[in-house]
Structure 1
Amino acid sequence: MVWMASQRPTSVSVRTRSPKLVGREKELGTIVEVVTERPAVVLIEGEAGMGKTRLMTELAGRPELRGVRLLTGTCQPLRDPFPYGPILEALRSLSEPLGPLSPVAGVLRPLLPELAEILPPQPEPLADPAAERHLRFRAIRELLGACGPALLVLDDLHWADEDTRDLLRFVVSMMPPDLAVVVGYRGPFGSSFRSAEHARVTLGPLDVSAVRRLATGILDLPRVSDEFAAKLHESTAGIPFVAEETLRALKESAGSQPLGETLTDRLLESLEVPVLLREAMTERLETLPEPAVKLARAAAVLGVPIEAKVIGRLAGLAGDNLRSALLTAMDGGVLGEVDEDRYGFRHPLARKAVYDTISGPERTMLHGEALAALAGSPVPPVLQLARHARSAGRLDQWQHYAEAAADQATARGDTSLAIDVLQSLLSAGKLAEADVARLATKLSQIALRGFRRDVIATLEHVLEDPPHDPATRGTIRLSLGSLLVRTVGQLGRGRVEVEKAISELVDRPELAARGINLLAQPIDGLTSLAWHQRWSRRVEDVFDQLTDPELRLALTVDRIASRAHTGDGTAWAEFEALPEETSSVAERVQLARLWCNLADGQSWLGHLGRADRLVTEGTRRAIDAGALYAAGLVQGTRVRLDWVTGRWDGLAEQAEALRDKYSDLGPIVQETSLVLGALAAVRGEFAAAHRHLAETSVLAPEHGAIPVVLSAAGVLVRVKLATGDLAGALAAADEGMTVARRKGVWVWAADLVPAAAEAYAQDGRWDEADGVVEEFARGIEGRDAPAAEAALLAGRAALLAARGKHQAATVGFEQARERYAELPMPYPATGAQERAALSRLAAGDRSAIEELACAAESYERLGATRDAGRCRHQLRENGAWAPSQRGRRGYGRELSPREREVARMLADGRTNREIADGLFLSPRTVEQHVAKVLRKLGARSRADVARHLSTYALP
């Protein structure tokens, strides 16, 4: 049979596999346990690619089997297998010392000439072939028994000849006492040995968690996104071999592109089928009769699991011929029943491997037949029809069906699919101007529900062609500007595009209103609140002229969210007056945006219970409506809300994963970087804190979300003060206050003002210290901002403490602690508790010792190790430190919580002195911790800690 495959470019392929066994640890442990109690027989059953061979390879290297003689053999898929082939292969490697052998073993000399010096002389051959065969069986069993403790590992026994099977049955029926046998096979082969088995391991597909670990190992990444892992599992059916080959192909094709973030159908389709996977599928096809091959090729062209009769129509098969061919293809492992009466391939690369065997002309013909077969369906599958029309060269039909598929996806909220289809149409380059205008307009509208950086380039390309009328240009440009505003570093450019769009949309007031409304949003950049308010008044001027209910709702949503962000208490009442449900998808998108944006605003103001509920419900609404941008954005709010409310367990990992997933989405990058910087700061990891805070736009506020910038400035001031860098703290305070004054939304400065006041007071700049606090007080007056009110109390108390007015400062800090605790914001509440206790101690009140110890415990529960260390340092200074009464657990080979902190600092390149300063420990204590960390991690040096820590499983 000759296969006319599509031509592939010359390439070099290097086989890559996971550096460690993944997803089979339990099975391996069971096998080791069984074979150490000899005699034993273990059967390992699994389909091709499930990892039988890898499991047996790992078995051979286990330390429990040291001193056990390892004998390995593999059956080959030969037309005429050699009798006893795999067992003889295993025995050929034998060497002395062996136990005593009887003359019977000499019968093996012709079969094992390599062992002539070990084996006794060959006896005279017997006249009866059956008796001679029995003698060989006895000799092989005796030779295995003479090996002493031995493990016979035989792979792929489904390809064994009948003589080999009979021999193996003979051996396991009366096992030598020190022998263990492990056989791997697929299919019904193992039923012959079940009476002799001691254990049988059946290998099924890996779960999503194991596939994720496989991906991180092969791609050499610390993590991959949930979406990547789920898509990889779906596309490989969890088959280890297929997953490894897919990952290898991804790694080779990626170049400099980031891996581990998203895995799309388009990317999978563009992958070259790995050589080993293609060869495996070709081998299977070559064993099938022609009708079954035709059926497999027809299924490959159809591309999705489908009814047998449809596949048969393309293959020219029906009735008994179809049934016979289908059963043969299924028995051969090429096709499978994916769902009831729906047949296809287990994973996309298997389909692609078969598809690549079809010649170009035949593909075109089959796609045309598939188009005809599916077009008459009661509910035409327009997306499939579009694919078949394009592959059949019928471009008019392709455009028709593809646009219908995009409309269908848009209507049901499948934003990503709609964008994919419209992008493919616009990138074809063979459309009439009217078609380009219509499709680009659709893309520009749907793109605002999601965030896809590639859409920006498409829209820019469309706008390069000037003949479009102004309204069309304005529509497309408005979406382009909106997408740029969301992109890291593109805020100013995006606003310029929006202003251009407004001027082009003079005849489309409803669309112009969207642009005006976007410029009215005050969150981003250094433009003043007054500038945004001028645009807000323009929105109010046109609002009553608008008739589109979705647009009116969109403007209402943004008005409520903007007012809420700036502390306008009427916004919440207006939100509660809105209907909770609406009928159209577009309006559901707007309501989802409202819940998500309002969650963000309420979290900054300090209405944290409200924010928590809004995040949960907003996420659900955004996902249901296909509002992918809002769904992504609210995850950033969730991470920061967890930081503020003290839910810190696993928070750094969540923030890292979210930032990796949305690396182009400015608001999420900035918000997660703020959380990571703040977490690093409370652990005393100041270099990491500086690195993360730099990504919040605190150093380039014109590109950032100003609430994030001001909060980051507050963290930065505290980091500088903690490291004794007063000049740096003052500079950060000055820059932060400049931003706050330029923006004019003081409720966003709640994290900055107390820290800035502290820095100015330490430098003796009392006028500035007092001025900052009072300017803040005037700025939040009449605002609905509980967090800002608590911060004002903390700032005033800090100035009282700095002036030595300790009793008044104590009252102020206690009031601040109460307000923070009510919100709840446990970290600043504990900070106020600590400051109140220190003020009482400074006033001579020794009863504050207990309060200071409580603050240390609160810091420790949160995970603020440096702050806990500072409190305990103060307790020691006051002669009051005693170890926790809860007792100390023994950690054995695990790192203790303190050792983990030291390990993280070592990985960050910190010296012992820096670690001691960061954790308020003595240098001697740090030396002891460092020695334990190196020993427990198995690291050879301090520089080696980062590598070991990345793979260390925290308890």
Structure 2
Amino acid sequence: MVITPGPRPADRAVQLRALVTALERRPALALIEGAAGLGKTHLLEELLGRPDFARVRVLRGGCRPMREPFPLGPVLEALRGLARAELGELTAVTGALRPLLPELAGVLPAEPEPVTGAALRHREFRALRDLLTACGPALLVLEDVHWADEGTREFLRYLLEPPVPHLAVVLTYRPEALPPGGALGSPVGADVRVRLRPLDLPSVRKLASDVLGVPMVGGEFAGRLLHWTAGIPQVVEETMRVLANHPAWPRDLDELEVPPLLRESMHARLAALTPPALRLATAAAVLGAPKDAAVIGALAGLRGGRLCSALSSALDASVLHAFDGDLYGFRHAPDRRTVYETLSVPERRLLHAKAFALLCGRQPQPLADLAGHARAAGRLADWQRFAEAAVEAADAAGETAAALDVLQSILNGPVDPADVERLAVKLSRLALREHRTEVVETLERILAGDGLGRTARGTVRLQVGLLLCRGPGRLVRARAQVEQGVAELEDHPELAVRGYNVLAVPIEGMTSLRWHRQWMDKVAAVLDRVEDPELRLALAGDRVAVSAHIGDGSAWEEYLGMPDSARTMGERAQLARFWCNLADAQSWVGRLDRAERLLDDCLRMAESAGALFAASIAQGTRLRLDWAAGNWSGLAEAAAAASERYDDLGPVIVEAELVLGALAAVRGDFAEAERHLHATGLAAPEHAVIPVVLCATGLLTRVRLATEDLVGACAVADHGMTVARRKGVWMWAADLVPAAARAYTMAGRTGDAERVVCEFAESIENLDAPYASAALASARATLLGAKGEYRTAAADFGTAAAIFRDLSMPYPATQATEESAGCTLAAGERGAIEDLRTAARSYEAMGAVRDAGRCHHTLRELGAWTPSHRGRRGYGDELSPREREVASMLAAGRTNREIADGLFLSPRTVEQHVTRVLRKLGVRSRTEVAERTGSLGV
């Protein structure tokens, strides 16, 4: 069995389970393979620390990188610790080990008559095998067998064919350093083979956070760290240790000193190289990114047989590594830096000049590489010429990240002051396609200087304001930059219109819709004078998206009349952004089908245009769409991953937190729901995304009502109503108003409830807002029910349920169905019992077990519970559906009381379920349930 799982922490558990399962069935052979630094030793330590092997003798030895390894060295090292061990009966032949293991002289029998040659080797192998047999249940662990001598590999083949009873063998090695024939010199079937891989971004981020002892490092920094370390755990750890002692974290990790352990390791490998191989390695370090052998050889002055020999030497010593496409280079940046720093400054300049001349003749010209070599060689005119050409080429190809990297390097270098203005404006415009905080820092540094004219300064400042809007908690600072930029561009309204447009968008902050409408009018007054097609498209798209957000039904017709393709990359990026914004608007309106279609178009266009920011924002909208549409399978994991990946992208974070809070509320995990919902920006709406805040207040009001905290529910509703009234976009309060009406009526604040419903009804009249219309029907039904007008209330809830169903929103549709049935029953009519059963089945289909349990509880109280006519199915040793629910809640750390409340069961019934779950899973404690249920997919 070959285990090649992903690089996340959960995947490590998969590896460990596979190893434990294989090694418990002795005899067994387990192979752990992975390049240097990938964590073979760490995995081994975790494995040997498992309680599964507490009563198994562990014999551990390791191979060393020696010119002439000791024969059988790692095996003898593993057996030296048996001097005080209790062994089974030893055969006479084991006495042959006395010269090899003098530590066991008091244990081994007398040495037999001497033999020579092949007979001696055979006797030693027999003796070692018999000694291992006498150890009883044992684990023989040999590390780094890629360095093993031929004798050790021969013995392992002898040991494993046939295997020794009760013995498990674990071998670790680097696959790229194995001799021909593999770890054992010939194929031998392994019971399990674990192949370690580099870490991915979330795992690099977690490891970095663990080393520093902080909750979580930033996602942007983690991305740079992944690039610097190639995801190799050892390199991540050593780099973070250096950073922990660094006075200030550098933005560019190239500014860091190479960690001592990594530097010393590379120096040891360099010392083993031949002079030509060393020249080849230094040439590769100067070239930087992996290159083909001919280019590296040309720079090193090597070709033909000498080049082949030098390349083989560098590869064998693990100085250079082979990459796909017949390219060669360094595994990670610290290795390359270590080799590069062995060159003196004059040697570096000379080699860079030679590399520049060499690459100039290649077609197509590697523009970014040529710019880098020209700069390092001191050829500043060539550097800027090729760097700007590289920016243009990357922009035309939709490679926004590459274009930004090169532009940043120009503006952070010795650039001609006459060019600063032009390049800064270009950087500010390109930056809008992606989200990179270091670009904001570069632009703010330029703004603080005196290198920009008034018009360019205003233009750059507007873009900085736009970029700041994307980060959490920066809205006030962002709008201040935009308003200042607008003032600087007062003589150029066709340029200032970008700022008007930013201030016209009402999605964030507590400024009223009336204030935003003033800026909308300014945009409309200037739009016809804008000649730049990209800017015209951006302004038109934002106007349509904002109109849709505030319920203007004509917005969709305008969208249908707009182009669906574009010629330039910039226009394509604007189309992607427009579709993303319109999808967000349609999702809040309740047009989920439109939003889905727009998101799909957005992601396709964003990918082709390098519009990474639009693609990122679309992920947040996608999460909320899946929540609304009832697509909950895997949604919590997707939301958590998005929150980690886009940790400095405010709009995505709050959408992810909203969805996580909603899912937690459905599970009945109310403390978790409170935590996530507060993280949407409830406490600081002046910096927050207002539709998200209003939705979160509605959800949190319901959570407080579910926990019988009526005072707290009303307080949350009051806060939400304050936000809604100040903002003035009432259709965004569709989740809040019904919840507030319920809280107020339950608290005896009927007048407040009626006022809220009345304000809501007046504000959404004649708007394209089907979701708000359904919410209004539900809120009115709540008022009617509170007054005892149950039949009318039931009809209004039924109307709400029908609208929600038409909008493909199953959860609120089922809630309204349940409410309608409840009002009908309260009116004394039992005909709604079937509706209640339907609601229970719908909840169960979505996974809303707590809501389903509430319906079943009501049916039992009514004496209307009807078990299956087929009789209860027998599940034997499998978990029943109810037991799977209990197991899932146990895995989440819920107490018996919390499980009882969540599933509407008695504590005694829960105790019985818990007992059966532990027995069927074969675990002894509740804490073991999480791991076991994970492996079963519960």
TM-score bracket, shorter-length normalisation: 0.7 to 0.9
Partner of 1:89: 77
**Structure 1 partner of 2:858:** 874
Q: Which string of whole-angstrom CA distances, capped at 9 and with x for unpartnered residues, describes residues 721-779 of structure 1?
A: 22333333333333323332332222222212222222333334334333322322222
Change (3 A) 1:706 1:120: closer
Q: Does 2:99 match 1:110? A: yes
1:818-837 equivalence runs, <5 A: 818-837=802-821
Q: What is the aligned counterpart of 1:504 among 488, 491, 503?
A: 488
After superposing the two structures, state which structure 1 stretch, 627-636 or 858-867, moved more.
858-867
Counterpart selection for 2:723 from 722, 739, 746: 739
- The 1:688/1:929 distance shift into structure 2, 3 A limit, reads farther
The 1:607/1:147 distance shift into structure 2, 3 A limit, reads closer
Amino acid of the structure 2 residue aligned with 1:556: A
Residue in 1 that maps onto 2:371:
386
1:243 is aligned to 232
Cα distance in 2 for residues equivalent to 1:231 and 1:950: 35
The one-character-per-residue Cα deviations of 1:884-929 (angstroms, maximum 9, x if unpaired) are: 779575655999443256447756xxx7666655554444455666
CA displacement at 1:629 relative to structure 2: 1.9
1:462 aligned residue: 446
2:343 paired residue number: 358
Q: Distance in 1 between matches of 2:928 and 2:101?
A: 52
> 1:297 touches 1:355 (CA, 8 Å); kept in 2?
yes
Residue 583 of structure 1, CA deviation: 0.2
Unaligned runs of 5+ in 2: 1-7
Q: Are 1:808 and 2:811 an aligned pair?
A: no
Stretch deviating more after TM superposition (91-100 or 309-318): 91-100
Which residue is 1:416 aligned to?
401
Name the SS for the 2:529 alignment partner: coil
Query: Which region of structure 1 is more displaced relative to structure 2, 714-723 or 228-237?
Result: 228-237
Contact 1:222–1:950, Cα closer than 8 Å, also in 2: no
Q: Which amino acid aligns with 2:62?
A: T
Change (3 A) 1:501 1:939: farther
Q: Which amino acid counterpart does residue 335 of structure 1 have in structure 2?
A: L
Corresponding position of 2:178: 187
**Is residue 204–residue 225 contact of structure 2 (8 Å, CA) maintained in 1?**
no
Counterpart among 2, 11, 26 of residue 36 in structure 1 = 26
1:52 shift after superposition: 6.7
| 1:615-626 correspondence to structure 2 within 5 Å | 615-626=599-610
| Offset of residue 60 of structure 1 | 6.3
Return the alpha-carbon distance in structure 2 between the equivalents of residues 165 and 735 of structure 1.
Answer: 73
> Closer, same or farther in 2 for the Cα pair 1:563/1:283, shift >3 Å?
same
Q: Give the CA deviation at 1:588.
A: 0.6
Secondary structure at the residue paired with 1:724?
A: coil
Q: Partner amino acid for 1:313? A: A
Counterparts of 2:564 and 2:192 in 1: how far apart (Å)?
54
In structure 1, the partner of 2:757 is: 773
Match of 1:438 among 401, 422, 429: 422
Q: Does 1:77 align with 2:77?
A: no
Asked if structure 1 preserves the Cα contact closer than 8 Å seen for 2:220 and 2:436, the reply is no
**Partner SS for 1:583:** coil
What is the correspondence of 1:659-698 to structure 2 with a 5 Å cutoff?
659-698=643-682
Match of 1:898 in 2: 885
> SS where residue 468 of structure 1 aligns?
coil
Give the distance between the partners of 1:225 and 1:489, measured in 2 at CA.
Answer: 15
Q: Secondary structure at the match of 1:92?
A: helix
Q: Which residue of the other structure, out of 729, 736, 744, is the alignment partner of 1:760? A: 744
- SS of the equivalent of 1:448 reads helix
Task: Count matched residues.
Answer: 919
* Match of residue 587, structure 2, among 592, 603, 613: 603
Determine the C-alpha separation between the residues in 2 that align with 1:18 and 1:914. 28
Contact 1:595 1:618 in 2 (8 A): yes
Match of 1:206 among 197, 204, 212: 197
Asked if 1:553 corresponds to 2:544, the answer is: no
State the one-letter code of the partner of 1:300.
A
> Aligned partners of 2:835, 2:511: CA distance in 1, in Å?
45
| Distance change >3 Å, CA 904–CA 712, structure 1 → 2 | farther
Matched, 1:539 2:523: yes
- Per-residue CA deviation, residues 340-371 of structure 1 (Å, 9 max, x unaligned), is 45333344444344334434443333222212
3-state DSSP class of the match of 1:474? helix
Cα distance change of structure 1 residues 518 and 284 upon mapping to structure 2, 3 Å threshold: same
Name the CA shift for 1:531/1:291 in 2 (closer, same or farther; >3 Å).
Answer: same
| 294-303 vs 42-51, which moves further | 42-51
Q: 1:116 to 1:657 in 2, by over 3 A?
A: closer
Q: Aligned to 1:93, what secondary structure does the other structure show?
A: helix
> What is the CA distance between 1:652 and its match in structure 2?
1.9
Partner of 1:119: 108
Q: Distance in 2 between matches of 1:893 and 1:847?
A: 31
Contact 1:855–1:868 (Cα < 8 Å) also in 2 = yes
CA distance in 2, matches of 1:207, 1:184: 16
Match of residue 305, structure 1, among 283, 287, 290: 290
- Residue type of the alignment partner of 1:296: A
Out of 783-792 and 753-762, give the one that drifted further: 753-762
Deviation at 1:326, TM superposition (A): 2.5
Contact 2:154 2:184 (C-alpha < 8 Å) held by counterparts: no
Q: Tell whether the 8 Å contact from 1:76 to 1:159 is kept in structure 2 after alignment.
A: yes
Q: 1:924, 1:174 → 2: CA distance?
A: 55
The one-letter amino acid of 1:766's match is T
* One-letter amino acid of the counterpart of residue 452, structure 1: R
Match of 1:8 in 2: none
Query: Equivalents in 1 of 2:12, 2:489: separation in Å?
Result: 60
Root mean square deviation, CA, Å: 4.2
| Counterpart residue type for residue 861 of structure 1 | A
CA deviation after TM superposition for structure 1 residue 681, in Å? 2.1
Deviations 1:797-823 (A, max 9, x none): 222211111111121111111111110
Q: Secondary structure at the match of 1:653?
A: helix
Question: After superposition, what is the alpha-carbon deviation per residue over 1:174-215, rounded to whole angstroms, capped at 9, x for unaligned?
Answer: 887777766666533547966794548776553878x96687
Report the Cα distance in structure 1 between the residues aligned to 2:130 and 2:517, rounded to whole angstroms.
95
Following superposition, the deviation at residue 109 of structure 1 comes to 3.3
Is structure 2 residue 800 aligned with structure 1 residue 842? Answer: no
| Native 8 Å contact 1:560 1:575 kept in 2 | yes
Q: Secondary structure at the match of 2:336?
A: helix
Distance apart, 1:837 and its partner CA: 0.7
In the alignment, residue 108 of structure 2 is paired with which amino acid?
L
Q: 1:474 to 1:349 in 2, by over 3 A?
A: same
Contact 1:905 1:915 in 2 (8 A): no
| Mapped pair 1:372 → 2:362 | no
Amino acid in the other structure paired with 2:295: V
Task: Say whether the 8 Å CA contact 2:219–2:644 is kept in structure 1.
Answer: no
1:343 aligns with 2:332: no
Which stretch of the first structure deviates more once superposed, 183-192 or 623-632? Answer: 183-192
- Map 1:580-659 → 2, pairs under 5 A: 580-659=564-643
Amino acid at match of 1:854: T
Structure 1 counterpart SS, 2:197: coil
| CA distance 1:308–1:865, change in 2 (3 Å) | same
Q: Which amino acid is the alignment partner of residue 503 of structure 2?
A: L
1:580 Cα shift?
0.9
- Match of 1:696, SS state, is coil
Residue number among 478, 485, 488 corresponding to 2:462 in the alignment:
478
CA distance in 2, matches of 1:796, 1:609: 27
8 A contact 1:215–1:247 mirrored in 2: no
Give the match's secondary structure for 1:793.
helix
| Counterpart secondary structure, 1:670 | helix
**Letter matched to residue 101 of structure 2:** L
Q: Equivalents in 2 of 1:758, 1:176: separation in Å?
A: 72
Q: Describe the shift of the 1:443–1:883 C-alpha distance in structure 2 as closer, same or farther (beyond 3 A).
A: farther
Identical aligned pairs, as a percentage?
A: 53
Contact 2:32 2:196 in 1 (8 A): no
